[in-house]
Amino acid sequence: MIKLTGVEKRYGRKKILNGVTFEAGKGQITCLIGINGAGKTTILQAVMGLTPYQKGEITIDGEKLSPKMMEKITYIPDAMTLLPKMRIKDAFQFMADFYQNWNEKRAKEILNFFKLQEDERISQLSKGNTAKVNLLMGLAMDADYILMDEPFSGIDIFSREQIADVFSSHLVEDRGVIITTHEISDIEHLIDKAVLLADGVVKKEFMTEQIREDEGKSVIDVMREVYQG
Amino acid sequence: MKLFGKLVNFEFRRFLPIYISLLTIVFLIESVGVLSYSFMMKSEITESIVKHGLSKEQFLQDHGFISIGNVLSGFMFTLPIVIAAVTIFIYILFIWYRDWLGENTFIYRLLMLPVKRIQLFFSKGVTILIFVFGLIAFQVAILPALQVILKLIIPVDYRLDLTTQGLIRSFYYLKFLLPENFIDFVINYGFGTAFVIVLFTMTLIERSYRFKGIFIAAFYGISALILVFSPYILQGIMQGYFYKNELLWMQFSIAIVLSIISVFFSNHLLNRKIRV
Amino acid sequence: MAIRFDKREAVYIQVIRHFKEQIAIGEMKSGQEIPSRRELAQQLKINPNTVQRAYKEMEEEGLIYTDGNKPSIITKETERIEAIRESLITEAIDQFVDRITSLQIPKEQVFELVQLKLNELGEEDEKNHD
């Protein structure tokens, strides 16, 4: 389980996270929802130690972040982080060089699934394919937890469908997934848990099936209540 | 440790294209220097012997022996050394900034590698050292080759050929970079390494605190500089109490202490303060 | 298989209802293998945990049956299938009656209208068959 307790982050005088507390379980898809600037990306970066926070605690299966943890948890940022000169196969080599949990077989499988070629250069990828390669790099690791930042933003409908298919596939089976989005409709039925953020705090945290069953509300109904009510 | 080697290899390969161009430029400029010197001297020989009918002895009395040693302190050898030094200096900063400011933000990947982050720091440092030593080795290696150019143009009777050691000794910058005395060698590269470490730390301060960091980094750098030269301030106060040698060792010790502090500080920044 | 999901109702309940309907109309036959939880999640584009939950409930209700590691199958007990059909019919009738009574329409008129509607559908069916 990934657990955040009272995480606070200031940048200058501005409070970006104002005591964020929530949990994301293994074998579940947890979705961080909020408008841009709600602190979604910052939360993922804080979990990965990519940005400092001043207060609170983040643990992964009860442990704090450490170098060896980078094989247990992986982060797929919104932007391409591989070098433009690399070909996809160079990127594979880079990952294989540094990660014991890199699963080459799965990497090739996802490559086929997304209909990408090994020889394509990172700099030549379309926006949709960039998102897919990003996703691939994370999914091909045998990691227990995968964090994805806006996997659906700014890409074409077909790429979105393909990426959405990943969430109901064996590629995320038994893993803990946290994804951020400001647009829930693509994945409403794919997620287990929704965490609604605004102004750097968690406004509501709920299991989607439970809210549908107990209160007869869709995720968007709850969002409406929280953000507009 | 295996991963550290891979990191160094990776960093090395990233700069390799520019590095190879740099070595090529060094070689080309120096070749042109030797060529033009050789042809100039050859025409001098022709002129004095054929036109003025001087003897070989008279020529040598006027001009001395023709040797590559005469151009090693000249512009065509100073220029490439300056170019190389400036390039490497810029790369000491660029080796970090490229990971943030490059077309894609590679720093994400680096910080998420399953290695202690201070290893990134060391791998980049070692890469810089490799480039420096590589450059020196390259310079030493091409000197005999450059001398061959001279040999092909100037007849043996007019020449003074130098051994590799002689070449190094008559090349001012190389004499500094490759001192014969081992202690001098350690001191020179100790200062060099400390310089790189402090510069890296300043970079990381800026990368952690951004705008505010520029001032902290500047303060850090200036403080380090003052500290390293503080023995001379002390010397002023004590009115020349210390030997020159003692001052140097004091400076050296300060540089080492500064390096150690900088490494610990950088480790802290990389683990707790860095932002992508 | 495709389901149009209601976003305000638990997805697992909708999956179970879909199975029941398919069984009632004979689209799914007694003893037939059903897709694995992963396959169904992929087909319906829903969370595998949700499918898991639906299968678990259906198993408890005796709707499907799993023998060891083999794929689950639709129950072979005909009474169960009959019961499912009946419960679906009862449910539909209940809903219908609920609406109708709230509109306060006389019984005779209701029978008449139902008769008329069913005849209409029957004729349309015949036309379609031609």
Which residues have C-beta within 8 Å of that of residue A156, sequence separation ≥ 6?
A127, A128
Predicted local distance difference test score (pLDDT) of residue C128: 67
What pLDDT, on the 0 to 100 scale, is given for residue C104?
84
Do the chains contact at A83 and B106, CB–CB below 8 Å?
Answer: yes
pLDDT band at B46 (very low <50, low <70, confident <90, very high): confident
SS3 category, C122: helix
- Nearest-angstrom CA–CA distance, B213 and A21: 30
Looking at residue B141, its pLDDT comes to 94
- Element at B59 (helix H, strand E): helix B56-63
The interface residues of chain B toward chain A in range 5-24, judged by CB-CB distance below 8 A, are: 6, 10, 14
Of C11, C41, C42, the CB nearest to A212: C11
Which residue does chain A place closest to B207, by CA atoms?
A: A51
Query: pLDDT digit string (tens) for B151-195?
Result: 999 988 888 999 988 898 888 888 888 888 899 999 999 999 999
> Looking at the predicted structure, is the pLDDT value of residue C130 above 60?
no
Tell me if chain B has a CB within 8 Å of the CB of A81. yes
With a CB cutoff of 8 Å and minimum separation 6, the contacts of B223 are none
To test the contact with chain C by mutation, choose from A160, A163, A168, A171 the residue with the greatest count of C C-beta atoms within 10 A, namely A168
Mutate to test the interface with A, among C1, C4, C5, C8 (most CBs of A within 10 A): C8
Please tell me which chains touch C, using 3 or more CB pairs under 8 Å as the contact test. Answer: A
Tokens of B249: 């060792």
Instruction: Note whether C56 contacts A: Cβ–Cβ < 8 A.
Output: no
Given a contact cutoff of 8 angstroms between Cβ atoms, the answer to whether A76 and A149 are in contact is: yes
Handedness of CA B245, B246, B250, B251 (dihedral sign): negative
A205 has pLDDT over 70: yes
Helices (H) and strands (E) in chain C, counts: 5, 2
Through-space distance between the first and last CA atoms of chain A, rounded to whole angstroms: 31
Contact B103 A123 (CB under 8 A): yes
What's the pLDDT band for B75 if we cut at 50, 70, 90? Answer: very high
Average per-residue pLDDT for chain B:
93
Residue ranges in A99-151 assigned as alpha helix (H): 104-113, 127-139
Q: Tell me which chains share at least 3 CB pairs under 8 Å with chain B.
A: A
**Percent of chain A predicted with pLDDT > 70:** 100
3-state helix, strand, coil in chain B (%, to 5): 85, 0, 15
pLDDT digits (tens, 9 = 90+) for C103-120: 888 888 888 988 998 898
Pairing verdict, β A176-181 and A193-198: unpaired
Residue B214 near residue B176, CB atoms below 8 Å: no
Q: Which of C7, C8, C42 sits opposite A168 (nearest CB)?
A: C42
Higher pLDDT, A12 or B125: B125
Residue of B nearest to A65 (CA): B271
Q: What backbone torsions phi and psi does residue A36 show, to the nearest 5 degrees?
A: -60, 135
The number of angstroms, rounded, from the C-alpha of C79 to the middle of its chain's C-alpha atoms is 16
Interface test with A, best of B4, B100, B113, B269 (most A CBs within 10 A): B113
The residue among A16, A64, A65 whose CA lies nearest residue A8 is A16
pLDDT of residue B38: 93
A219 contacts in chain C (CB < 8 Å):
7
Q: Within an 8 Å CB–CB cutoff, is residue A71 touching chain B?
A: yes
Q: pLDDT value at position B211?
A: 93
For chain B, percent of residues with pLDDT exceeding 70: 100
Say what the pLDDT of residue A191 is: 94
ipTM value of the model?
A: 0.93
Q: With cut-offs at 50, 70 and 90, classify the pLDDT of residue C129.
A: low
Contact A213/C10, CB-based, under 8 Å?
yes
d(CA A33, CA A31): 6
Report the gap between the CA of B128 and the closest CA in chain A (Å).
20
